[in-house]
Amino acid sequence: ERYLVGDYKKFNSNMGFVEDEVKKLVKQMNSLGVGVTSQPQQDIDLGIIEEGSEEEEESDDEDDGELFDSKEVEPGEGDYGDLQDAYFPQAFSHFSYERSRGNFMVVDLQGVFSVKDDGLKVYELTDPVIHQHDRLRRRSRRHDHNRGSRVGKKWNFGRTDRGINGMKAFFETHKCTDACRLLGLSEVDAEDV
C-alpha cells in the first residue's frame, strides 16, 4: 500500500461503531470524569477484530444470480441543506448493503479525506471489511443431491467478516443523513437485517 498523506481517520468499524458515536461516548465519559484521552480507538475497547494470516478458501465459479441491484435510483426528496462531507463514509456502508440487496456490507472504513487542487473531494480508504449475510453462507453449504456439487458461490472474507451481526451492529448506530437521502437509500431497522 502506498502512504496516504493527510489526517488518517477511522470512519466506522466492523463492530458497528460510527465515528460520531465514539466522539459522543468520549464527551460523555469526560463529563463523568472517567478521563478518556483524545484517542478513543486506543483507550476504549471497541471490540475490533484484528486481521491476521489465515487460510483463504477458494470460491466456486458458479453464479448465484442477481446479488446486486443495478436499478437507477432517484435521489430522495429534500433540499440537502445538511449535506456534509463527513456523512459519506457511513452512507457508503449503507449503500453497499442496499445495492447488494442486503447480501454484503462494506465497513471498517479508514483512511484520508482530502481536497485536491482542482477542488475535487476524495476519500482514500484502506483495509475495508466486507460482511456477508448469513443467508449466502447457508446457500453455499447446500448441495445439489443430483449432481453432488455445491449450489451457489462460496466467499470467504476472513475473520473480520461478522456477517449479519456486523450488519445489525452498523444499523444500530447508523443514522441516515442527507447523504443517504441523496443516494436514495431507505431507512433500515437493525432488527430487519
Cβ contact 62:157 at 8 Å: no
Cβ contact 60:155 at 8 Å: no
pLDDT higher than threshold 70 for residue 175: yes
pLDDT higher than threshold 50 for residue 146: no
- Which pLDDT value is given to residue 29? 52
Q: pTM score, two decimals?
A: 0.68
Phi and psi based region of residue 188 (left: phi greater than 0; alpha: psi -120 to 50; beta: remaining) = beta
